Structure formats: structure tokens, C-alpha cells
Chain A
Amino acid sequence: MKRTLTLWVVTGILGFCIFPWYMTDSGFWSSQTLRDPLVMDSASGLVSIFYHDRWWLFLPLLSLIGVLLVQCLPLRPVLEARLIAGLAIFALSFCALQGLVISRSGPSVFPWLWGEAASSGQPGMGIGAGLFALSALFVLTSSVSHMGRGRGDAFVTGMIGLIVSLVVVFVFYPVLHILVQALQLPGGGYAFSVFASGFFASDIWDLSCLFGGNACGVAINSIFLAVSTGLGTTVLGLAFALFFTRTAFPAKKLLRVLTVIPIITPPFVIGLALILLFGRTGTITEFAADLFGVEKSRWLYGFWGIYFAQMLSFTPIAFLVLIGVVEGVSPSMEEASQTLDANRWQTFRFVSLPLMRPGLANAFLLGFIESLADFGNPLVLGGNYDVLSTEIYYAIVGSVADPARAAILAFTLLLLTLTAFIAQRTWLGKKSYATVTGKADSGQHAALSPMVKRFCYGITLPWAALTAIVYSMIVFGSFVKLWGYNHSFTTEHYVRAFGIDFSDGIRFVGAAWDSYFTTLTISTAAAPLTALIGLATAYLLVRQKFIGKSAFEFGTMLSFAIPGTVIGVSYIMAFNFPPIELTGTSVILIVVFVFRNMPVGVRGGVAAMSQLDKSLDEASLTLGANSFTTVRRVIAPLMGPAMLAALTYSFVRAITSVSAVIFLVSAKHNMATSFIVGRVENGEFGFAIAYSAVLIVTMLAAILGLQFLIGQRRLRRTNRVEGAVAA
């Protein structure tokens, strides 16, 4: 174990002495460091100290060398570990501090202290600094493991340390920037009064629309919409869940597809299809006007339009939550109720429904959070109904950029989603009546009473029909010249987007190819990282005991509650300047996907890990394997299906995400969704819809491909596990 520690110290020192400490023009790495090590821009840490007078970099180096010295001293192991941990903490915190204090424009605190060289500032941290910090981190975690914590396991403490640092740097640090920005005075300096006057302004919290006034504040609008959507999706989701589990409708499988497709649809596409159907020149609007003389209106562009689109978009999420809840109600409870002479309606009303109550509340809160965070639909359909997520966007990209207002709006939105998130966790976290015990629980679920059944059919069938129409519109709309005016068939949109010129080799001439390839590359890069971090976190949460575990869990799940727009704004505020300068790179896109989608990987991993008997790990440990070997040879092979599910999910989410991405794309790295939003804003609906259709097909292909793999694996695995556990 001592060898690991020494190895990390040496890596850190090498990183310090050989690699470019700062970001270079070409990114993290520059061959110039080797050819001409003394050039300032690409100099290593060591060279920066001696040739460029950046003497403060000497301190972290010294502390790592100190670690080597301490290792040579004859000390008691625990004392030695404590000394090393102290030195590593110093190296890490000093590294962070000097990066934060000395920005591009020179030191922001105590300018006299840092000397001449500091006043010219320093660029963002590069590969050398990164390697150094990583090594210092692992020196710290291994020394902590030597202190007898974490059952003396350097692999586990290292993993905890790494995930905590990543979450701090890529979730907490940027969100903190929003707070700082919200407190900042226009001329510099900070004051709470600025924040208070901005936060309590009437354009955020105005309630006048309730009393016949013109318009409410954005926050009130958002809350009103979110409550409506939460309630609506919960009722619809429950109807669908009952429909699928408790009725014998023949074409269930076909309908099931319709409930899942919205999940792989980019968020604004539904809004777009609704415009084509119900907009001023929409098919149904025209139809109704011709037939019944209904006046064409702009009702779609406002609350009702967004509400409608969100209901279509988020009902599947509520359905997925509630189908588990409905199935979780133990059939024996319902049978007990019936043997006690309750009829079907009474059984449903007094037994099944109360048992589902925590699940229903959970579905409501999820719908509430999703609606608040939704960006695509309000952007397309918003009209004069302002909500927080789009207002943040306009505050950043509008004609008058106002980062302070964006920060305050983002803070407000964060406050709302976090409240819902914390309510969900504390209030509902442990309260589950789900009665799946693992014991064989035979028996039959009660059939629905005729009234409930009529209610379910009455809701789900028309809704399914509507979803089907919306999706066929997407296909149809991509093949007509100009929707609403000229409905002649054309492939023009596809050619313009995805044209390939074969005249001179293969040339991808279509306008969409660039962003399409970027999207695929970045999603493919982000998916395995997301799955890996998510499952590693799940492993720590389920299998390891350590101090501060619940805080750790909360921190890793937190990014689920942070709306995409907030993340986007916080990233441009945090990573546009040293010490970590990432805007405009593809790295920031990958990072944003990894940390936004991580919570789902964690959940999936926790669910899968909880089904693996803990004694499997323990058997491996008592047979002499260490944690790393156990993970590699026992846990990872058995987690295959969960791994693939996490991969699929993060891949799909990375492709469909728009809210965070729209702030972070650059001319060089444009993503499909933000490209499409640009087309929509130009009014090129045909093009946008054609591109969206291609995206949906791409994701379907990816999902089916991965499903195929999962299906294969699962078949092989189930027999084995069942056999081993039965008996």
C-alpha cells in the first residue's frame, strides 16, 4: 500500500516538472513544452518558478517532496499518515487558492504579497496542474486509508475522494458562482442589498394576475405551470399505469411504445409538432375554422400551449414511476380486502389507492421539477407567458445581456427545484408502502371497478391517439414543402440537412452533418463516463460505510435538481475564466452531460447493486481479494445490464438535452439540439423537423442495439442467479 502512495507522489512531481502547468493555446497539451521548455505559455511548473518568477508554485511542490521525506522518517504509522495527509491537504488547498486568487488580471487579494510576476496574471490550469492536483488528492486518500479509516482500503478512499472532488468542482463550484454573481455590485464589490432588491422584485413574484391584473411574475408563472403539469401528469400517469397493469386491453404493447417515445424526443419537438397542429396555420386549427367557423387564435402561444406540450412530454416519466408503484402494491392486500367483503371500488379506494399515496406524491414532485426545468417547450411556445428557465436564457443572450439578472433568476429557479427535491427526499424518502419483499408473493391483483376502468380507458386511449398524431405529424411535416401553405411532397429538407455529394469522393455537404457528428461524438464520449461515475458512486453508497455518507449521497443526487438552464448559466460563469477555463471546448460539453446525467446512473446502479447479495463481495474479500479485484472480477461482470442501461440513458439524454447545452456550444462545437433551435428561430420548421426525425431514429437504433445486448445478457444471467440463490 505504501508503494501506491509513493507512486502518486512521483506522478505528481513529474506532472509538475514535465507537463505544461497552464492551458496552452492548443488546449491542454503542447509539444512546445518538450521542444522549448522555457517558453512562458507552455512552461512546466518547475520552469515557471525559476524562469518566470512564479515563486508561489514552489509551495505545493515542496509539500509533495515533504511527503517523500516523511516516508523516510522512522515514525509511528498513524502519525506518519497524519503528517502526509496534512501535507497533501496543504498542496491541494494552496493549488486551488492561488488559482482562484491570481486570475488573468493579476492577484485579487493582497497584491503586494505575490510580487511582480503575479501582476501580469496567470492563465487557466493545464494538464500539469491537473495531474499534480490529482496526485495530491490520491496521496491524501491513501494516507487517510492508512489512518485506519475506510477499513484500510486505499481503493475505496481514493474513489470517494475522486467523486467528491469532481462533484465539488463541477457541481458546487459553478452553482456557487451564481450566488456570487447575484451578490455582485455593477461596479465591483458585493452587497446583500443588490441581491435582495433583485430577488424580491415584482417582475419575479408579482401576484397581480390572480386579482385581474395583467401578468404575474416569472416565478409565479413557473410555479403555477409546474403545479398544473405535476397534477396533470400524475393523473395521466396513474391512468396509464392502471391501464397497463390491471386491464386486459388487447393492443397494450403497441401503446407501450407510444408512452416511451416521448422520452427519446428532443424536448422542443413536441412543441414544434403542436405548432404544426394547433398553431395559427395548423392543420387542426384550419380544419376547425373551415368546418365550424372557430376563429383562429394564438391560444397555443402561452400557458395552455406550454402546459399541453409538457403534459405530452412528461406523462411518460410519471407513468414509469407509477407503474412500479402500482405493481408494488401486494396482491395479497387486495385479496385480503376482497375476502373481507369489499367490492372492487372499495378495494381500490380504501386499500390500493392509499398504498400508492407516497408514489403519487413522488410522481407529482418529479413532474413539478421537470416542468420547472423544461426549457425547450417554453422557448418554442412561450409567447407572452414568461417562465424562469427561458427568462434566464434571454437575460444571457438577449439584446441587453444582464448576467446579474440571470444569476438572480437562476437562483430563484434553483430555490424552487431544490425545495421540491428536498421535500421529496425528506418527506417521501423513507415512506414507501411498496410491498415487494423478495418473498414469493403469489395472488392476483384485483380487477378494476367498472368506473375506474372507464376512467382509465377514457383518458389513455384518446391521449395515446393524440401522441400518435403528434408523432406522425413530425414525420409528415418533414416531407412537405412549407407546412400550412404548400403540402406537396418533398425530400428537400433531408437533402439540405443530410446531403452527401458523391461526385468527388464522399463529401458531407448537408448543413446538419457538422452538428450531427459533434453530437454523436460527444454523446458517445459522455455516456461511458457517466455510467462509470454513476455506478462507482452506487457501489460506494450501497456497499461501503464511511463518515458523511448521507451528505455524499445528497451531493451526488443534487445535480438532478439543478435545472439545465441553471447549470448552463453557472458553467459559463464559472468556467470562462481561470483557474478552470473550459468554455468553447468540447470538454465542457462532455462534463456537463456527465454531471447532469450522473444521478440517474447512480439510481440505476443502486437498484442493481441492491439486488446483488452482499455476501458475494464478502466472499470475495474473505477469499483474499482486495476491493479493486472484487469490483473487477465479481461486481462488474454481474452489473452488466445496469451498465448498459446507464449507457443507453446517458447517451439518449446527451443527444436530446438542450437547456444546458445552448449556453455552452460554440461555433466549433455545435450540438444538434441547439442547431435545431436556431433553425426554429429562423422559421425553418421543415428543416428542424426533418433533423429531429433523424435524431429520433438515431436514438431508436442505439436503444434497440443496446437492448439487444442487454436482452442477450439478461437471459444468460437470470438462470445462473436464480439457481445459485434458490435452494
Chain B
Amino acid sequence: MNISEWKMSSEVKGAVEFRNVVKKYGSVVALKELTLRIEPKKLVTLLGPSGCGKTTTLRLIAGLESATTGSILIGGEDVTHLSATYRKVSMVFQSYALFPHMTVAENVSYGLTVKGTPKRAALEKAETGLSMVGLAGFGNRLPSELSGGQQQRVAVARAIVLEPEVLLLDEPLSNLDAKLRRHVREEIRQIQQDLGLTAVYVTHDQEEAMAVSDEIVVMKNAEIAQAGTPWDLYERPASAFIADFIGDANLVPCEIVGQNGNETSMRVRERLVSVPGVYDLVNEAQVVLRPHKISVGGTQTPGSFPAEVTYAAYLGNQIQYTVEGPLGHLFVTSEVTAKPARKGDSVFVNFDEQDLRLVA
């Protein structure tokens, strides 16, 4: 089978749906009433701090955990009570979980042979899979003879040769070093798009999530905090948590003073500003100020606030400041200038109304 035929057969692969799924371990609630739909052929990332329930969600799709209540559908079929063995999903593990006593080819063909594919055909298909991840000819090696990145790709090949309806990836890059990580995540995204696979990707690294996803589901305390495209989450955070978790954010308290048609006006300290959009908020709220949207200067400008630099660090491509003033602690990144501010300097910080977002 060549790659284009493979692509054809993956056209029918389906969606994943959670309907009011609750998962409890004894009295500990790992998931509260999760309802979620993952569209076919999309790469959806489950993102959140550790213990938020993202890995549990992934393992529920795999069938490695069973739901306490609610139902799970894959490709329109109810699989809630189906064990992992019989689900058409495959998973790439954080530790790769390559079988150390089998060669690379045996590892990749394992899923095919246990389902009764003749050994010869299985090995042929394994070779196709290996060439897709750029490891053609590595079949006779043992996993221990490969580098970390190569092992990772073997794990991906092993999962995709089964032509799963859904590919699950559990923090697949966390054991790779930072440079390799960016390279491999591009590859994974490429393969997912080439094969038109539905993929569910778990990570706690927001940058990684932004880079690979069609859609991101941010989870917190066993439930969904916000779901949307990377753009949505960054530009329209629904809560202070999201604003802070997706990219850095300074949260400054503000007072809402009124709605003007399609704009909301509010007071940040003594400055009156208005932002586009109607928010369902009363009185107390916070504005989100991204660090790179704050300017630090030596001279006063309209609307600026005085502040003192309490920390300054030169990072080569940017300078990071912490400044203290009427707006509280602010974290600021600024371009490298000829004469950067130093610790203890008195400066003026300013921002553009257009860059403000409002959260509860």
C-alpha cells in the first residue's frame, strides 16, 4: 500500500464525543461532567496544568480507564464499555513504551500481527510506516540502539500503521530536548495532516499547543476552562486563568463605567479607556495587558503611568523588566534599545487601548 492509498482509506475516520462523562477515583473527582466534541481530521490539544484531568480524558478515549458515568462515542459508535483492545484508536506514550525485547520492525508490526495480519504483510506495512517517519531501513535495530528522537518516531509509526480512527498522543515531546522538540512537533503535525487523522494531543506546554493545534481545550480543576482556536484563546481569553496560562499576562484591576453601543468603557486607575465588544461584567473586572504590548520610556506621554524598575534582564533578543507603580507589579518585555532602563530607574509605562482585553 502506498501513501496516497492510505490517505484515501483514512477519509472515513471519525469524531470523538464525550457526553456528560464523569470519572471518579474513589471520592476523588478526576473529571466533572465533561461534554466535548472533537471534529474529524482535526488536531485537538488538551492543555492544562498537571492534575487538571487532561491525561484522564485521553486515557478515557483510549479505553485505558472506564467512565464512571456518561458515554463516549468514537466515529458515532458508543464505545463506553468497550475495552482498549477493541477500540480503533492508538496511542503514542510519553515514555514511548517501545517493547525493549523486539526490533523496531517487530514493534511497528506488533499491532498488525496481534490482529492476525500475516507476518510478511505486516512487516511490509511496518516498513511503509517507518519510511513515513523518516526511518526507512532502521527495522532491524533494537529500540535501545536509537536516539530519543528516533525512538519517538518509531512510537508514532507504530501507532499510525494501524490506521486508527483517532491518534492519541500523551505528551509525546516531553522526553526530548528543546531544539529537537520543535522539529518533531512539526513532523507530527505534517503526518497528521497528510493522513487526515483525527488526533488528540496532551501537553502542558502552551507554546507547543499553540504551534500544532487546530483547536485547544484548556482544562482546569477537572473541567474545561475554555476551548477554541489558538487565536481565540490568546485574543479572547474567557477568564484571568486563560489569559495568564496562554501567553503571559499582567492582570490589572479596573472599574467598568458603562456600555457605549459596541464598546465598553472602564477606568484603569485614573485613565478612562474603552475596548471593543460587550462584556457581561459588572463593576469589578480586570484588564489583560500582554508584556510586549507595554511600552517603557523615560518621558511622560498622554495616559502613561510613572513606575520604578525593580528588575531588568538582558536576554539578547529582548529585555525583560519588572516595574512597580500605580498599576502594581508589571512584567514587561521590550525590544533591545541603545539605552535600556536599569534597576532603580524611574520610568513611564504606557499601553494602547486597542491591546486591552477584559476578563472577570
Name A's B-contacting residues (CB within 8 A).
148, 151-153, 613, 615-616, 618-627, 629, 633-634, 637-638, 717, 719-727
B240-278 contact mask (Cβ, 8 Å, vs A): 1 or 0:
000000000000000000000000000000000000000
Segment touching A, from B78-86, B210-218, B300-308, B346-354: B78-86
Q: Which residue of B lies closest to A640 (CB)?
A: B101
Interface centre among A622, A624, A629, by most B CB within 10 Å?
A622
Q: Which residues of A contact B86 (CB under 8 A)?
A: 624
Does B18 sit within 8 A of A, measured CB to CB? Answer: no
Task: Give B162 Cβ to nearest chain A Cβ, in Å.
Answer: 7
Given B83, B90, B158, B168, which contacts A153 in the complex, CB threshold below 8 Å?
A: B83
Segment touching A, from B68-76, B91-99, B125-133, B316-324: B91-99
Given B63, B94, B142, B158, which contacts A723 in the complex, CB threshold below 8 Å?
A: B142
Q: Which residue of A lies closest to B110 (CB)?
A: A623
Q: Which residue of B lies closest to A723 (CB)?
A: B144
Task: Give B12 Cβ to nearest chain A Cβ, in Å.
Answer: 18
A615 and B62 form a contact (CB under 8 A): no
Report the Cα distance A621→B97, complex, angstroms: 12
The answer to whether residues A625 and B110 also contact, given A152-B83, A717-B101 and a CB cut-off of 8 A, is yes
A726 and B99 form a contact (CB under 8 A): no
Does B337 sit within 8 A of A, measured CB to CB? Answer: no
Q: Which residues of B contact A621 (CB under 8 A)?
A: 63-64, 83-85
Does B140 sit within 8 A of A, measured CB to CB? Answer: no
Report the Cα distance A722→B144, complex, angstroms: 7
A620 and B144 form a contact (CB under 8 A): no
Task: Give A674 Cβ to nearest chain B Cβ, in Å.
Answer: 43
Report the Cα distance A720→B145, complex, angstroms: 8
Q: Which residues of B contact A726 (CB under 8 A)?
A: 148
B114 and A623 form a contact (CB under 8 A): yes
B114 and A727 form a contact (CB under 8 A): no
A623 and B66 form a contact (CB under 8 A): no
B86-124, CB < 8 A from A: 86-87, 89-91, 93-101, 110-111, 114-115
Given A151, A616, A624, A725, which contacts B114 in the complex, CB threshold below 8 Å?
A: A624
Report the Cα distance A151→B83, complex, angstroms: 6
Report the Cα distance A717→B114, complex, angstroms: 23
Given B81, B91, B115, which contacts A622 in the complex, CB threshold below 8 Å?
A: B91
A152 and B81 form a contact (CB under 8 A): yes
9 contacts between A and B (CB under 8 A): A151-B83, A615-B97, A618-B84, A619-B91, A619-B93, A622-B64, A717-B101, A723-B100, A723-B142
Given B83, B84, B100, B176, which contacts A720 in the complex, CB threshold below 8 Å?
A: B100
B162 and A624 form a contact (CB under 8 A): yes
Does B151 sit within 8 A of A, measured CB to CB? Answer: yes
A725 and B81 form a contact (CB under 8 A): no
The answer to whether residues A724 and B84 also contact, given A622-B91, A623-B90, A623-B162 and a CB cut-off of 8 A, is no
A723 and B143 form a contact (CB under 8 A): yes
A148 and B64 form a contact (CB under 8 A): no
Does B9 sit within 8 A of A, measured CB to CB? Answer: no
Q: Which residues of B contact A622 (CB under 8 A)?
A: 62-64, 84, 87, 89-91, 168
Does B190 sit within 8 A of A, measured CB to CB? Answer: no
Report the Cα distance A625→B95, complex, angstroms: 19
Interface centre among A151, A619, A720, A722, by most B CB within 10 Å?
A619
The answer to whether residues A724 and B96 also contact, given A153-B83, A622-B90 and a CB cut-off of 8 A, is yes
Q: Which residues of A contact B84 (CB under 8 A)?
A: 618, 621-622
Beyond contacts A152-B83, A719-B144, A720-B142: 20 other A-B pairs, Cβ-Cβ < 8 A, are: A148-B81, A613-B95, A616-B99, A619-B93, A619-B97, A619-B98, A620-B110, A621-B85, A622-B63, A622-B90, A622-B91, A624-B162, A625-B110, A720-B101, A723-B143, A724-B96, A724-B144, A724-B151, A727-B96, A727-B148
Report the Cα distance A148→B63, complex, angstroms: 13
Q: Which residue of A lies closest to B161 (CB)?
A: A623
Given A152, A627, A720, which contacts B143 in the complex, CB threshold below 8 Å?
A: A720
Report the Cα distance A624→B112, complex, angstroms: 8
Report the Cα distance A726→B143, complex, angstroms: 11
Q: Which residue of A lies closest to B64 (CB)?
A: A618
Report the Cα distance A618→B145, complex, angstroms: 23
Report the Cα distance A536→B62, complex, angstroms: 25
Given A148, A615, A619, A625, which contacts B85 in the complex, CB threshold below 8 Å?
A: A625
Q: Which residues of B contact A620 (CB under 8 A)?
A: 99, 110, 114
Q: Which residue of B lies closest to A152 (CB)?
A: B83
Task: Give A306 Cβ to nearest chain B Cβ, in Å.
Answer: 49
B147-172 contact mask (Cβ, 8 Å, vs A): 1 or 0:
11001000000110010000010000
Report the Cα distance A627→B64, complex, angstroms: 12
B90 and A638 form a contact (CB under 8 A): no
Q: Which residues of B contact A724 (CB under 8 A)?
A: 96, 98, 100, 143-144, 151
A151 and B93 form a contact (CB under 8 A): no
Given B110, B111, B142, B175, which contacts A727 in the complex, CB threshold below 8 Å?
A: B175
Report the Cα distance A626→B162, complex, angstroms: 15
A624 and B85 form a contact (CB under 8 A): yes
A638 and B147 form a contact (CB under 8 A): no
B15-61, CB < 8 A from A: none
Task: Give B57 Cβ to nearest chain A Cβ, in Å.
Answer: 15
A634 and B99 form a contact (CB under 8 A): yes
Report the Cα distance A151→B82, complex, angstroms: 8
Q: Which residues of A contact B93 (CB under 8 A)?
A: 615, 618-619
Task: Give B83 Cβ to nearest chain A Cβ, in Å.
Answer: 5
Report the Cα distance A536→B168, complex, angstroms: 30
Q: Which residues of B contact A727 (CB under 8 A)?
A: 96, 147-148, 151, 175-176
Q: Which residues of B contact A638 (CB under 8 A)?
A: 99-101
A615 and B145 form a contact (CB under 8 A): no
Task: Give B193 Cβ to nearest chain A Cβ, in Å.
Answer: 22
Report the Cα distance A710→B98, complex, angstroms: 23
The answer to whether residues A721 and B114 also contact, given A623-B158, A623-B162, A625-B85 and a CB cut-off of 8 A, is no
Q: Which residues of B contact A623 (CB under 8 A)?
A: 90, 110-111, 114, 158-159, 162
Q: Which residue of A lies closest to B96 (CB)?
A: A724
Q: Which residues of A contact B147 (CB under 8 A)?
A: 727
Task: Give A646 Cβ to nearest chain B Cβ, in Å.
Answer: 19
The answer to whether residues A633 and B114 also contact, given A619-B91, A723-B142, A723-B143 and a CB cut-off of 8 A, is yes
Task: Give B297 Cβ to nearest chain A Cβ, in Å.
Answer: 47
The answer to whether residues A613 and B85 also contact, given A622-B64, A633-B114 and a CB cut-off of 8 A, is no
B143 and A624 form a contact (CB under 8 A): no
Q: Which residues of B contact A633 (CB under 8 A)?
A: 110, 114
B111 and A624 form a contact (CB under 8 A): yes
Q: Which residue of B lies closest to A148 (CB)?
A: B81
Task: Give B67 Cβ to nearest chain A Cβ, in Å.
Answer: 12
B148 and A717 form a contact (CB under 8 A): no
Task: Give B139 Cβ to nearest chain A Cβ, in Å.
Answer: 16
Task: Give A443 Cβ to nearest chain B Cβ, in Å.
Answer: 25
Report the Cα distance A723→B96, complex, angstroms: 12
Report the Cα distance A721→B175, complex, angstroms: 16
Report the Cα distance A717→B142, complex, angstroms: 11
Q: Which residues of A contact B175 (CB under 8 A)?
A: 727
Task: Give B225 Cβ to nearest chain A Cβ, in Å.
Answer: 27
